[in-house]
A and B are shown apart, each in its own frame.
Chain A
Amino acid sequence: MSELIKKIIMNYPYFAAFIIFVIGALTVLTRSNLFKKLIGINIMESAIFLMFVAAGNIRGGAVPILSGKNPHTLYINPLPSALMLTGIVVSVSVTAFALALILRLYRSYGTTDLRRIYEMGNEVSE
């Protein structure tokens, strides 16, 4: 048992990422409000970003900028952070598109609750 707790404390960013991921997934799947679903998606994506960035981190490592003055021997891995920059761009564009769709839905149905939108069915004019 203490072994397990020790492992969790040693790898706390991954543990945090896992908890955040579950919170996000639950929000997406259980909430029927469109905005809450979108926020859940964003929370889930942050969890994945955290996991990637944590994977690139090395304890005691320096910023990976090579210069002659301070020769470090240990640098953190910059690749995962660079990848997550792409991930953030994708996440922002998904959010923008989803917000536009929510606006469109609100204009025609008058609500942002997905359950009520489905209850209204197809009897909605253009």
Chain B
Amino acid sequence: MISAITTNLPVFIIIAPLFVAFVLPTWAQRKRLVENLVISVEILMLLGTCYLASIVLLQKGIPIIYQMGGWSAPWGIELKVGSLGTFFLLTVAIVSLPVALFARGNLTHEVGGKERVARFYVLYLLLIGALGGMALTNDLFNVYVLVEVATLSCCGLVSARNHPRAAKATFTYLILATLGSCLVMGGIGFIYIVTGHLNMGFASQELGRIWQNNPRVVWMAFSFMLVGFGVKSALFPLHVWLPDAHSVAPSPASAILSGLAVKGYLICLLKVLYNVFGFYLMRVYSVHKIMVLVGMVAIISGSISALTQEDLKRRLAFSTVAQVGYIFLGFGLLNTKGLTGTLFYLASHAVIKSTLFLSAGAMLNATGKKNIKDLSGIGRKMPITTAAFTISSLGLIGIPLFSGFVGKWQLLMGSMETGSILPVSVIISGSVLCAAYLFPVIRIAYFGTAPEKDCKDPNLPQKLALIFLSAAIVFLGVIPGSFLELANRAAAELLVLR
């Protein structure tokens, strides 16, 4: 029995949230039971992921290949539990548990009605399952299906609040995201037409042999993939849907959307670029230069747009656009340090941005307002929430001892290795701009005149979630240890010449 579970653990980790998502509606009336089920699935997922991560760390980089249904590779579908997969799976598990805990607090109020709570959790678990699948899958068509599952559940989460503004934001998001998935599917089609394989390993081998015969088709596949995943992960010129969608969603949903969902698409893009095309082809087609350029533009313009926002959640949403720019820039650096830094930054941004959204949600809930100037003096009334906000802001800016610093430092080292001064200066000025749009919030919260209205820290589960996430930010910043090791190994594996 135990051995059956441990050998099939990779697939159980994906199946468990999906399965619970489908049985949840039958107990929709019993809110406590639904919440407990969700939390226990999250805890099981975290435990299973830790077990897998320990195995991968002990095996020194030899991935566990799981064959679905026992069919071997060119015919069957594979799950590959390598360093990259476990790294992202750990991020998903670590972030989604406290967000679910936070949602326990006042979700009924956030989504407007008790009967909508179970529906919210169904979408939440579908999203988590799809993200887990994205981390582990080694099959191109599975990538497409999981991306679609994630997109549809994201759209559902955005419209969880029954409000016309939410419907408007969801429609824009749905149309643009479907456009993106059409492009992704087209790109997969081109790869399949050229190579005849959907398995990433086989497609990559075949592509390495025959890309010179069809250079234009490979070029099309590159551009379809880049633009498709670019729309989905809100790369700068294609980010128009993000600020509306992420600011109108209930705060646990915005935390998971901004923190994890965007990262899932980025991990898929990383897998396609490095595991299928390989970095040799990226260099031949100069894709890395385009990515660095677009990343730099995204950092600067995202940060400047964030500066001009008065609505706190919109400011955080625009900040996500800027941070996606960092990750794109790092994907294009093509060296181990840069890629390690990017992966670590991706994980730490997932933790930091969900903390920011959750604490912002708690503050806005207590005051009942949306704008930053309405938060004056709230730091004295809600010490824990504001402390969590401050810690995560410092982390996002990249102050030493917080997790953002470790990733940003490695990213900086990596961009110095390329010999060009422009990315380095953009990364540093991005940090300065980040301080410029986050510090005013902290200043107003701590030093503004206190509000007359009686605001209190949120209830126990929400406080626990915020403390857990803040502790994770500090812990990853002080002792990145094996987490950084995993990122480093994943980066080294991605850059192996095939």
Contacts and interface: CB of A to CB of B under 8 A. Distances in A.
Contacts of A102: 171
Given A48-B186, A98-B174, A105 B192 contact: no
Contact of B178 (A34, A41, A86, A105): A41
B193 interface: yes
Contacts of A114: 171-172
B148 interface: yes
A48 B189 contact: yes
Nearest to B166: A104
Interface in A77-126: 80, 83, 86-87, 90, 93-94, 97-98, 101-102, 104-105, 108-109, 114, 117-118, 122, 124, 126
B116 interface: no
A90 B148 contact: yes
B498 interface: no
A108 B152 contact: no
Interface string B170-197: 1110110011011001100100110000
B155 interface: yes
A52 B167 contact: no
Contact of B182 (A48, A105, A109): A48
A63 to B, nearest CB: 20
A122 B165 contact: yes
Contacts of B156: 97
Interface string A36-75: 0110010011001001100100000000000000000000
Nearest to A122: B165
B168 interface: yes
Interface string B152-168: 10011001001111011
B165 A45 contact: no
A73 to B, nearest CB: 19
Contacts of A97: 152, 155-156, 174
A27 to B, nearest CB: 11
Main secondary structure of the interface of A (DSSP, over half): helix
A97 B159 CA distance: 11
B353 to A, nearest CB: 25
B164 A104 contact: yes
B167 A80 contact: no
Nearest to B179: A28
Interface residues of A, number: 34
B444 to A, nearest CB: 24
A51 B174 CA distance: 23
A104 B163 CA distance: 9
A90 B141 CA distance: 13
Contacts of A109: 164
B170 A83 contact: no
B37 interface: no
Nearest to B162: A126
Given A44-B179, A45-B182, A108 B192 contact: no
A25 B179 contact: yes
B182 A83 contact: no
B426 interface: no
Given A87-B185, A101-B159, A80 B192 contact: yes
Q: How large is the interface on B (under 10, 10 to 19, 20 to 34, 35 or more residues)?
A: 20 to 34
B175 A41 contact: yes
A52 B189 contact: yes
Contacts of A101: 159, 167, 170-171, 174
A86 B188 CA distance: 14
B492 to A, nearest CB: 33
B145 interface: yes
B415 to A, nearest CB: 34
B193 A55 contact: yes
Nearest to B171: A101
Contacts of B159: 101, 104
A48 B193 CA distance: 12
A89 to B, nearest CB: 9
Contact of B171 (A25, A105, A122): A105
Contact of A90 (B145, B171, B186): B145
Given A41-B178, A83-B141, A55 B189 contact: yes
A28 B175 CA distance: 8
Contacts of B145: 86, 90
Contacts of B165: 122, 124
21 contacts: A21-B182, A28-B175, A34-B171, A38-B175, A41-B182, A44-B179, A45-B182, A48-B186, A48-B189, A83-B141, A90-B145, A94-B148, A94-B174, A97-B174, A98-B171, A101-B159, A105-B168, A108-B167, A109-B164, A114-B171, A126-B163
Given A45-B182, A94-B148, A101-B171, 13 more contacts: A28-B175, A38-B175, A41-B182, A51-B186, A55-B193, A93-B152, A97-B152, A97-B174, A101-B159, A102-B171, A105-B168, A105-B171, A124-B165
Interface of B: 141, 144-145, 148, 152, 155-156, 159, 162-165, 167-168, 170-172, 174-175, 178-179, 181-182, 185-186, 189, 192-193
Interface of A: 21, 25, 28, 34, 37-38, 41, 44-45, 48, 51-52, 55, 80, 83, 86-87, 90, 93-94, 97-98, 101-102, 104-105, 108-109, 114, 117-118, 122, 124, 126
Identify the 5 closest CB pairs spanning chains A and B, nearest first: A108-B164, A104-B167, A90-B148, A55-B193, A44-B182
